Structure 1
Amino acid sequence: MKYLLSKISFITEKIEKYVVCFSIVFMMLNSTANAIGRYFFNQSIFFAEELNQFLIVSVTFIGFAYAVRKGRNIRMTAVYDVLNHTAKKVISILIAAVTAMLMFFLAYLAFNYVLELKEINRLSPALQIPVYLIYSIIPLGLAMAGIQYFISLIMNLTHSDIYLSYEIIESNIDPDEGGI
């Protein structure tokens, strides 16, 4: 089981890293080219703002899955921190299970929305790209976050340590690092 989880984690991490890095670099190049065109040639790139909006959607949803993987998602720990290990473990399992189900449900709803966009054949205003192609990153990001929470659930059910993700154990978090 651990081998399968490791493979899934490895593949999804590569996807997350490449999509987020590519999107951020492409946003920077697009914004720089647009600024140079606007200030030096008095001509903006007509699709620059729309392209950046699409790239921000990618960074947001795939970046969320990456944050879950690294244990950097938002956690409310005021009560949790004073509990004993067993109570923390139970809460961690419940949180991972409920959040995984929620992420998969949201991915399902987002997938249906993407299908509706495809059905009505909506195009983006400037680039004239079918919008469903761009927004298909939303159910993908939500599903990848759901996978990370599911892996966390499995790790918590099969190990005595408390896992925030496949690779992050709660006791390994440095509180002086900015914390979670």
Structure 2
Amino acid sequence: MDKLLTKIEDALMLIGMLGALTVGTAQVVMRYVFNTGFVWSEIALVTLTILAALVGGSRAAAEGIHIRITVLTERLPAPVQRYANTLAMTIALAYSLFMAYAAFLYVQFLHMTGMVSVEAHIPTWIIFSIAPLTMALFSIRYIQRIPHAWRGDEVAKVEFID
């Protein structure tokens, strides 16, 4: 399952990144060379960038390189670090599950109301579907990481940038 999710995440990040790059570059050329542009380019650029960033965050959580505050845990003895990391991952999982559920409810609401993006003329629920999808990916990744944290494989590592 990890390999399949990694391939999906990689594809979504590639689509988001290349899509945003293509739309952004095309908009700049259209505006400055032809004095025109697409009304929908801004929402497309923002949506694709958010997609790539959130999926990238899920990927970082899978690799254990996600952003976290380790000021307290790094000062704890190794066995206690294990419990602290497991607790932190469990809280992150609960938060991700809550956000996935809340985002799903919001997408349902948008679908029910039939709201359409003024710029892109597409239903807004399609755009906002990124949120429950990526929060579900985060949840799956934390579910995968919690056993590692429990075994002590997930020890806070401190890296300094020169």
TM value normalised by structure 1? 0.82
For the 8 Å contact 2:62–2:144, the answer to whether it is kept is: no
Q: Hey, what does 1:44 align to over in structure 2?
A: 37
In 1, the alpha carbon distance for the partners of 2:120 and 2:18 equals 19
The unaligned stretches of length 5 or more in structure 2 are: none
Q: How many residues are aligned here?
A: 161
Q: Hey, what does 1:152 align to over in structure 2?
A: 145
**2:70 is the alignment partner of 1:86:** no
Give RMSD over aligned pairs: 1.7
Please report how far the alpha carbon of residue 13 of structure 1 lies from its aligned counterpart in structure 2 after TM superposition. Answer: 1.3
TM value normalised by structure 2? 0.91
Q: Hey, what does 1:102 align to over in structure 2?
A: 95
Q: Hey, what does 2:51 align to over in structure 1?
A: 58
The unaligned stretches of length 5 or more in structure 1 are: 1-6, 164-169
Q: Hey, what does 2:26 align to over in structure 1?
A: 33
Alpha-carbon distance change, 105 to 79 in structure 1, aligned in 2, over 3 angstroms: same
In 2, the alpha carbon distance for the partners of 1:129 and 1:31 equals 19
In 2, the alpha carbon distance for the partners of 1:37 and 1:76 equals 44
In 1, the alpha carbon distance for the partners of 2:35 and 2:75 equals 60
In 2, the alpha carbon distance for the partners of 1:143 and 1:129 equals 24
User: Could you tell which deviates more after superposition, 103-112 or 63-72?
Assistant: 63-72
Runs of 4+ in 1 over 2 A off after TM superposition: 154-157, 173-176
- Structure 2 counterpart of 1:17, which letter? D
Q: Hey, what does 1:175 align to over in structure 2?
A: 159
